[in-house]
Structure 1
Amino acid sequence: MGSDQNSLNVRFCEICAGFLSKNGKDSVPSLTRVLDTIADDLARSGELRIRMGSENPSIWLSLQQLWDFLAGYPSADADVAELRVLIISVARFTRNIVAGVAVNQQNAFGVEPALRRVLLLYSSWSAFQLTDSFPATRMAVQALSNIVTTNEDLTSRLWSTYLTLPEERAILIRLLGSPDHKTILSLLVLMVNCIHDSTERRSLLTKSRGGARICITLLDRMVLLYDAEESTDGAKAFDYGYHLFAHLFDGGFAPDLYSSLSVEGEVIAQHQTTLLKLLDSYLQSSQTCPVHCDMCPMLSEIFLSLSSYSQSAIKRAINPINLEPNLDSSIEHLQELDLLLPKSCEALVLATQCIVKISLLSEDRRTMDPSAVELRAIFRDACSTDELLRLLDAFLPRIYFGKPVLNPATDQSIPSSVAGANGFSYLKRDLVRLVGVLCHRDKTFQDRIRVCGGIPVIMNMCVVDERNPYLREHAILALRNLLDSNKENQDEVNSIQPSGYWDEEGTLREKVGATLR
């Protein structure tokens, strides 16, 4: 068996030497045949990988020379068919011989600079226009992944190098732009393997400038992959992208990443909103909460910032200033409407859902373990919702059986073309739900809602609104929690006498002679 192995090494070295001595001319088919045959054998036998990588004559110098030849190919172009064939065969051989063998990975790591140069060529805009180049790109990424996977030292060296490359040579960012979903999937497998169980590498991804640029590119890619059909490579790539961010959330890096995605002068950046969507999905699927302590201050700050911004924008829309009094009210609203308000409200919904989920997880945990940290308390000071709910009720008409119900006090709202579903949907419902969760068996928060005049606001939410499914049910639950074991709040509700009634179309009508409170 040893002599057979020796002859296999000799054959590999001889075919490589013959190919390189002829500068690749007229010998591509013979080289690729030998490499493909050996690669098939290596894929089937771990013992063969170990023996071929360790016995003489050594194959590693010949492999290095092959990659150097590919990196400096005389007519290097992704459109050269013979170059693509060579890359596929050499990369496949490399991928298979290093798989799961640490010594082989160490010996093969020297080809990384040449392999990176090949990937730079195949991650260019012109290469992405050629579907024939995709298999070569994909195989090269898989070879790179197998060289470092499960090898901590090599993974750290690769990760540190790739996250500090200059922008024009940032290979991870370039590859994330590939239109080939299989290439994206292979790349994300590499990236997930790199950050798995490594606080240092996760930190570099979330805190460094290069890491932030990679995350921004990946978030853009996740948006495009979201609608991929189930079980396709695109859907699998999305799942791996999600797993990558889940690893960051597990490690407590959500605040650092959110901060690194900020844009100066903007209340919320689009990539921050996408990150909140992933964070919301992560929390909704989570059944544990110790790591979520790290997210609470961040979410409180986000809620406070977005809530303050939204209130200010709505006030300007409801009460436009410095406008001619004879202008049509809808035009006034259009002139004063902050075009970033829908985006702010969309992010506010996501932040609210995250806070609600963490609060519920915290309460469940304390039910089982009274000594567990009470996470709801962290949100109480930031999550004042009564004024925002009051403004939203005046700003956005309820949708009742397909018809907008105008605010009876102003008999006007923002134009329907502006107040569409995007951005504003579910906002009132989730804010009411948040009140119900935070005031559950918490007299301090119950009293705070009463003192700031929030009880009538919650009572006014006990209505049907197609823009906010289950708004009425959540408002009723919130009201129940506000009144639970709180006599002052009960007296407040009892003192509120109905001054109107709901007609058949869902419009509130004043009762004759009623005293408005």
Structure 2
Amino acid sequence: MDVGDLRKALDQDATQIVYSDELCLAVASVTETTARWIAQNLSERTQLVDTFSQDGSQADIWSRLGAIWKSIALSFAPAVSSSTSSEDSRIYLALALAKFERNLLAGLREHQDEASAHESEIRLLLFDLTTFTRIEDPRFYTLHAVLTQLLSNMISPTSPDPEDARIADRQMALYLSGRREDDVIIRLLDALDPKTNLATLHLIHNTTRGSPERLQLLLSEAGLRWVSRILARMDLYLEAHDGRFELCHEIISQFISNSLHPQLLNSLSIPNEPISPSQTTLLKILDAYLSSSHPNTSCPPSSPHSFLVPMFHLLAGYASTSMANVPDDARLPKVFEGLVLVCEGLSSIGLAVQARTDDGVVGDGGEEELVRTMKDNDDTIGVVKPLIEMLRQLDSFLPRVKPGASSSSSSSPLAESPDTAPLAGLKRNLVQLVGILSFNDTAVGDLVREYGGVQLILSMTEIDESNPYLREHALFATRNLMHNNPANQALIAQMDPIGVVADTGEVLPLPEKMRRHGQDAHIADI
């Protein structure tokens, strides 16, 4: 490539370029063409930079870029003089220049070191371009996105080497210092343009990946604003199918893999609320993590997930009080959703511990201790009694829907709302957790019997149209409660037959003739 045209364009006085429509368009044309050439010849970028400085240029390429960026940033300041070139010309110039430098920087630490000297000009420009109505003006959308890509390429570490992370360390600390003018990231997360959101998420992911120290910065007051924005938009991003959801998931999953999620969950709480929307989303990500990432090895001495037990107590206590005393509690569906997620997380941990036991892996780590805590007979510590009490209340609050019956016949106000219908599955999750905890553990079976849970769970072996798979989990739990537990076996044996098994698997009432004459019937074998 002939560097002469590029050198001629950039060597002009930066102020004159910005004040002239003709020069804006001319410089933009040259840098746009060069940006496309660089994209196809990445290996020749260093030679291009060296040639620019050796062939009689007034200054090196980085100094020239810095001077032009400074003039562009000043031209977009709110109090700018009207004697500058047209706004459209300056947008075109800034966009072309951003593409050029973005491509020039990508993955090259030596170029990052040089370009970081004018990072403040890029940040100032982004600040002004996201001020007032500009953040909602479609004319600026592409410029927002490309400038964010440039900023990302300027500060993202190019390798795991700590030396390559110096710029990221410095700039992340600056962005999260709490000063409004330094935090352009929060504005970019609020942008309406999906490409700007995507570029911003890439920047956050690139700068926090593999660095617990920089990830820890996101737990600061300013960092939590970023994280809250990310969590709040994940449902929207999931529907978009454009990569934003996956990036959000990657960013939040880093907190879990670095055992920072208990601190994050606590920081996301809202005063006087049992659970916040951001906490719920974090629990969803934790649920996916726990259900898919359990190696068959012993765990660390302290489980980072131990907060799930006190959270279960908190949510179960709120739900119990609400169901008993607060009709039409608007918070209750979200509390139920939180309980579902907490139960699923605890179930995943219980299954992982049991899998290690079955494979002969002797473990005394944090997850094993967490399971022992769940089984504790002190109901302020363990979860067995709260599980049974919650099931008993739910059995009345969300009554069983018989096959063929309409769910609208339920007396529960929640059952009438399509938005809350899936939360009826909470009974299934509670019964599943009882079944997991009672597997090969007669002490848990004794506790369940003591709290009146054996008969309760046995009653849930009937089909419930509002609770798919509740019957299957209840059958599994009943099996575990009876296994090697003569007292539970005797209790069930004393119970009167409850009916005959239909072809559908439903337990139906005994026919009148059978009850009257005491004829033998095929009794449900639980």
- Shorter-chain TM-score bucket reads 0.7 to 0.9
Native 8 Å contact 1:185 1:237 kept in 2: yes
Summarize the Cα distance change of 1:167–1:487 in structure 2 as closer, same or farther, 3 Å threshold: farther
Matching residue within 306, 314, 333 for 1:342:
333
Q: 1 CA distance for matches of 2:313 and 2:319?
A: 10
Structure 1 equivalent of residue 71 of structure 2? 69
Please point out which of 181, 197, 202 is paired with 1:184. 197
Residue 332 of structure 1 is matched in structure 2 by: none
Does the CA-based 8 Å contact 2:500-2:507 persist in structure 1? no
Q: Distance in 1 between matches of 2:109 and 2:462?
A: 65
Return 115-124 or 166-175, whichever deviates more: 166-175
1:62 deviation in Å? 0.5
- Residue pair 1:64, 1:111 contacting (<8 A) in 2 also: yes
One of 7, 19, 24 as aligned partner of 1:28: 24
How many residues are paired up? Answer: 481
- RMSD of aligned alpha carbons: 3.1
How far has the Cα of 1:102 moved from its partner? Answer: 0.7
Q: Is the 8 A contact 1:19 1:27 kept in 2?
A: no
- Which residue does the alignment assign to 1:301? 310
Provide the C-alpha distance between the structure 1 equivalents of 2:264 and 2:206, rounded to a whole number of angstroms.
Answer: 19
> CA shift at 1:245, angstroms?
1.0
- Counterpart CA distance in 1 for 2:96 and 2:289 is 40
- How much has 1:404 moved relative to structure 2? 5.7
Distance 1:488 1:305 in 2: 32
Alignment of 1:449-488 (within 5 A): 449-488=448-487
TM-score by length of 2: 0.83
2:321 to 308, 312, 333: 312
Deviation at 1:132, TM superposition (A): 2.6
Match of 1:324 in 2: none
Deviations 1:116-162 (A, max 9, x none): 11212233352233223111111101111111222311111121111
Percent identical among aligned pairs is: 29
Contact 1:38 1:93 in 2 (8 A): yes
- Measured after TM superposition, the shift of residue 107 of structure 1 is 0.6
Secondary structure of residue in 1 paired with 2:468: coil
1:12-411 equivalences under 5 Å are 12-20=6-14, 22-24=16-18, 25=20, 26-54=22-50, 56-57=53-54, 58-73=60-75, 80-124=87-131, 126-150=133-157, 151-167=164-180, 170-205=183-218, 207-228=219-240, 230=241, 233=242, 236-288=243-295, 290=299, 294-316=303-325, 336-372=327-363, 373=365, 374=368, 375-381=370-376, 382-384=382-384, 385-403=387-405
Residues 53-96 of structure 1 show CA distances to partners (whole Å, capped at 9, x for unaligned) of 4563521111110111111016769x921122111111111111
Structure 1: runs of 5+ lacking an equivalent: 318-335
AA aligned to 2:90 is L
CA-to-aligned-CA distance 1:164-204 (integer Å, 9 cap, x gap): 23357531111111221121111111111111110111111
Check whether the contact 2:500–2:509 (CA below 8 A) recurs between aligned residues.
yes
Say if 1:21 and 1:427 are closer, same or farther in 2 by CA, change over 3 A.
Answer: closer
Q: CA 1:420/1:138 → structure 2, altered by over 3 Å: closer, same or farther? A: closer
In structure 2, the gaps of 5 or more residues are: 55-59, 81-85, 158-163, 377-381, 519-526
Change over 3 Å in CA distance of 1:475–1:269 after alignment to 2: same
After the TM superposition, which parts of structure 1 deviate over 4 Å for at least 4 consecutive aligned residues? 74-77, 289-293, 404-407, 411-416, 498-514
Shift of 1:414: 4.9
Compared with structure 1, are the counterparts of its residues 499 and 471 closer, same or farther at alpha carbon in structure 2 (3 Å cutoff)? closer
Distance 2:99 2:127 in 1: 18
Q: Report the secondary structure of 1:72's partner residue.
A: helix
Q: Write the deviation string for residues 345-368 of structure 1: whole angstroms up to 9, x where unpaired.
A: 111011111111122122223333
Conservation of the 8 A alpha-carbon contact between 1:303 and 1:351 = yes
CA distance in 2, matches of 1:176, 1:412: 44
